[in-house]
Amino acid sequence: MAEDAVTLHDLADLARARLALGTWDFLEGGAGEERTLRAHTETYERLWLHPGVLTGAGNPVNATRMLGRTRAAPTAIAPMAYPTMAAPEGEVATARRAGAAGVPLVVSTFAGRTREDIAAATAPLWLQVYCFRDRATTRDLAVRAERAGFEALVLTVDAPRPGRRLRNLRNGFRLPAGIAPANLRGDGFGSSGDHALTEFDASLDWSVVTWLRSVSVLPGLVEGVLTAADARHTVEAGVGGMVVSKHGGRQLDGAPPTLTVLPEVVAAVDRTCPVLVDGGVRRCTDVLAAPAPGADAIRVVRPALHALAADPERGVARMRGTHNVPMRFTGAVPHNQVMGRHGDFRRGHGRRLRAPGPPRLERLPAGHRGRGPFPYPAAAARPVERCRTLKSELLLARLARARQRIDTVQAMLSHVADVYVPLPERERGCPSWQLLVNAPK
């Protein structure tokens, strides 16, 4: 039962036990060999929280402002296609719990329940939209969302076509009977990938942002930004915010984890608009990670799906408030200061996660002899770049010695007689010819 779940991983185990294999793989899987999907979670595994003591901060401060409105927590629930496969109520149940928690729910274009049904749950709602070849379809989605009381539009730009999802291909996955997008007209939705391939507009450029702003008064966000250049384009397009996202690892396998590119995007934006991030959240402490490189909020999706499948009513409620405990240990400061003061992102002995900047010319202490397998000479106050040069020279010297050894071995082999002798027919359990090496007398 969901009330027995102590962690988000417990909810995932409950969900997996209750869903068919094909459904679980559709909701949980990623593109290709799922390298990006795994890297998202592994990135959070390498993040450490440094506790703060005697801060005098009192209770944790979770409230934050997103798109001009105060939210109960720096969290939003990311869009999910066909969550009615996890539970018949789908987005309605999730919206009900999101409303109770005071966090936004981003509703997918491929939602299994109508916008009006979801809006009746009184949660803060944003609409995720794809731009279809038929712009009238996209316009209709935006207009209906505005009338239903949605607060924002989130334009997904990283899906010119669906990713190659091997789990679905191996399972021969088709949407179960009765599962279809409730807000789109037409048919042919049995295979979501085939429909997207024929209906999505793959020729989009930045003018689509201007067009979308012209058909709706709702503030817009661009979802799928991963580089500084795209972040600058997004700001120039005049949107209300952006989401550093890789579609949950379901599009381009091999793309970098979002948390690693976040500093680059934040530095390019320079606080001119809100920056959200998603991908890889699997525990409550992960919610504290995004502010480390400057995100204003973090979106979660798969834990919400797990909670919905485990128990539509009580499962999502188990996600509420679970990051208050680690916030207390880190000093109970506002969430956007926790990681700046107490967070560290490490690779082995690694470095603090920060926005990229010009390389620093550090100096080594007197007598320092380096850390690698090739010791540096004693170099008092020698720049790091010079020591790298010395290391390269040592490598070249070792390569030269290795070449001399190879030449010596080749000279010895030139005196060896290679004789090929056919083996008898009865002894051909090994290759037909055996090399006999006779050393010179």
Nearest to 37 by CA among 278, 226, 198: 278
Residues sharing a CB contact under 8 Å with residue 332, sequence separation 6 or more, in sequence order: 55, 57, 58, 59, 60, 61
Q: Tell me the C-alpha distance between 10 and 2, whole Å.
A: 8
Strand 275-278 relative to strand 297-300: parallel, antiparallel, unpaired?
parallel
DSSP alpha helix (H) spans, 148-206: 166-171, 192-199
Q: Is-contact 415 440, C-beta < 8 A?
A: yes
Nearest to 154 by CA among 38, 226, 242: 242
Q: Tell me the C-alpha distance between 104 and 176, whole Å.
A: 28
Q: Tell me the C-alpha distance between 359 and 340, whole Å.
A: 21
Longest CA–CA separation in the chain, Å: 98
Q: Which of 247, 323, 335, 342 is catalytic?
A: 247
C-alpha distances out from residue 278 to 131, 197, 228, 281, 354, Å: 21, 24, 17, 7, 18
Task: Answer positive or negative: Cα dihedral of 328, 99, 312, 27.
Answer: negative
Q: Tokens in use for 61?
A: 């401060």
- Alpha-carbon 218 to chain mean position: 27
Catalytic annotation present for 335: no
Measured in degrees and rounded to the nearest 5, phi and psi for residue 72 equal -70, -25
Q: How many residues does the chain have?
A: 441
Q: Tell me the C-alpha distance between 127 and 207, whole Å.
A: 20
Q: Is-contact 2 315, C-beta < 8 A?
A: yes
Task: Answer positive or negative: Cα dihedral of 137, 143, 149, 155.
Answer: positive
Nearest to 242 by CA among 270, 215, 214: 270
**Active-site residues: which are they?**
247
